[in-house]
Amino acid sequence: MSAPRGEFTSRFGFLMAASGSAVGLGNIWGFPTNAASNGGAAFLFTYLILAFALAYPALMAELIIGRHARANAVTALKSISSGRGSTMLAVFIGFSGIITVSLILSFYAIVSGWMMAFFLDPIARLIGLDGFSQWLTEDAVLRNSIFVVLFMMLTVVIISAGVKDGIEKWASRLMPSLVIILVLLIIYVLTLPGAMDGLRAYLVPDFSRIADPGLLVDAMGQAFFSLSLGVGTMLIYGSYIGKDENLPTVGSLVALLDVGIAVLAGMLILPAMYVALGNGVEIYDAAGGLIAGPRLIVSVLPALFNTMGFMGIFVALAFFSLMTIASLTSSISMLEVPVAYGVEYHGTERRTAAAVIGAAITLIALIIVFNFDLLFDLVVTYTTEKSQPLLGFAFCIFVGWIWSRNDILAEIKQGCSGAESGLFWRIWPFYVKFICPVAILVVYFQ
């Protein structure tokens, strides 16, 4: 073992880091468009239930394992295993998490690179660099490659600086800025004509959709991706929480922040789409649904900003800075998972581990950029729809069936002395043992 482990210096620092991980592209464009295409508030309602009933217990499982073991995913899962079988499973699950999160980062960096390019575009236009502006907003392998590399360099620089001087410092600066920008943008967009139609599409429930199995699957996938579950991110952040911290409380605060910001983002994106419709921008796809996915962010919204005249430049700047911040506070949490493993398991120096692993992930991202049509959707589907829920399932099995109940309680009691008689301990153990694994499997095989 090399240098001593890092630790978050305050509750605020942890909350900003963990909510920074959770709040990302998944909240700001995944959630609103999922809601729009799944019956508005009916989706919101299902999402809220699943987030608190299924994702929050799984989040707690990772935080508790992490803080108990004070180690990377592989070491942590091994430390709570008992026999040979469960130890082998621990190594397998830990590594699967590391590989999955690295692959998630490789596609996430591509999309985040687009966000950076679109963030620079209004600046280029302001200073009259029209050719550069066009280059920034046109989808091309060269542009995508350059921005993948830039975005990964930012991520590596922050992770190299460590838990306190890298993750905590930057999350504590960026997350409050994100909330301020988001709120200002919502206020502005809601004053524009057509915005109320968007708000209606978002907040008026179409309850006929609630029995739709597709809605359930989407809501669960969204909740797991959004809370960064299954891949060891929350485990590693949990491992940097002080022993005097109340885990059930900080865990619920993270879940509340994540869900709250997703709900707020819906109040920006959907009204913005309907404003765009009023300004003559196409917002429906060929099948008649609202345009979602990459096209929404890189074509519908920029087209809307272009119809807003001079003001549009500042709105674009604010919006894409919001997206870049959201991406960066998530990407650092992803890179921390393999880096912590490299540092602790192999005694590699943090800077070296961050640079080498960052370079490897950048290389994978570039391979995807060069074979975009073939690989992009494949990697997204494999990691977020197949791997993440199964790993979330495995974490529940570890906490519910493999790790001893007394050890779990002892861990929670540090920082929460009355835990034994509290509501959390009365409900959660049963939940992670039975309800979560079964529910995850049922939804998974839908």
Q: Which residue's structure tokens are 């590391």?
A: 98
Nearer to ligand PHE, 158 or 334 (CB): 334
- The full length of the chain comes to 446
Q: Which stretch binds ligand PHE (CB under 6 A): 137-145, 280-288, 312-320, 328-336?
A: 328-336
**Which residue, 22 or 292, has its beta carbon nearer to ligand PHE?**
22
Residues 22 to 51: which contact ligand PHE by CB under 6 A?
A: 22, 24-27
Quote the CA–CA distance of 109 and 156 in Å, as a whole number.
Answer: 12
Q: Which window, 111-119, 122-130, 176-184, 227-235, contacts ligand PHE (CB under 6 A)? A: 227-235
For tokens 């790790």, what's the residue? 403
The Cα-based distances of 231 to 213, 238, 296, 301 in angstroms read 25, 13, 27, 31
Binding-site size, ligand PHE (CB under 6 A): 16
The candidate with the shortest Cα–Cα distance to 429, out of 412, 405, 413, is 405
Q: Tell me if 329 contacts ligand PHE by CB under 6 A.
A: no
Q: How far is the CB of 224 from ligand PHE (least distance, A)?
A: 8
Structure tokens at 30: 């995944």
User: Out of 33, 333, 362, 387, which residue is the one contacting ligand PHE (CB under 6 A)?
Assistant: 333
Q: Are 261 and 21 in contact (CB under 8 A)?
A: no
Q: Which of 63, 148, 231, 267 binds ligand PHE (CB under 6 A)?
A: 231
The CB-of-175 to ligand PHE minimum distance in angstroms stands at 13
Binding mask 197-226 for ligand PHE (x = CB under 6 A): ----------------------------xx
Tokens encoding 327: 């991406």
Are the C-beta atoms of 384 and 225 separated by less than 8 Å? yes
d(CA 247, CA 260): 20
Name the residue among 202, 262, 219, 266 with its Cα closest to residue 49: 219
- Which residue's C-beta sits nearest to ligand PHE? 24
Residue 160 in contact with ligand PHE, rule: CB under 6 A = no
Given the rule CB under 6 A, which of 16-24, 169-177, 235-243, 416-424 is the region that contacts ligand PHE?
16-24
In the region spanning residues 374 to 433, those forming contacts with ligand PHE, defined by CB under 6 A, are none
The region that residue 279 occupies, defined by phi over 0 for left and psi between -120 and 50 for alpha, beta otherwise, is: alpha
Q: State how far the Cα of 187 lies from the Cα of 145, in Å rounded to an integer.
A: 35
Kindly tell me which of 29 and 424 has the beta carbon lying closer to ligand PHE: 29
Residues that bind ligand PHE (CB under 6 A): 21-22, 24-27, 101, 104, 225-226, 228, 231, 233, 330, 333-334
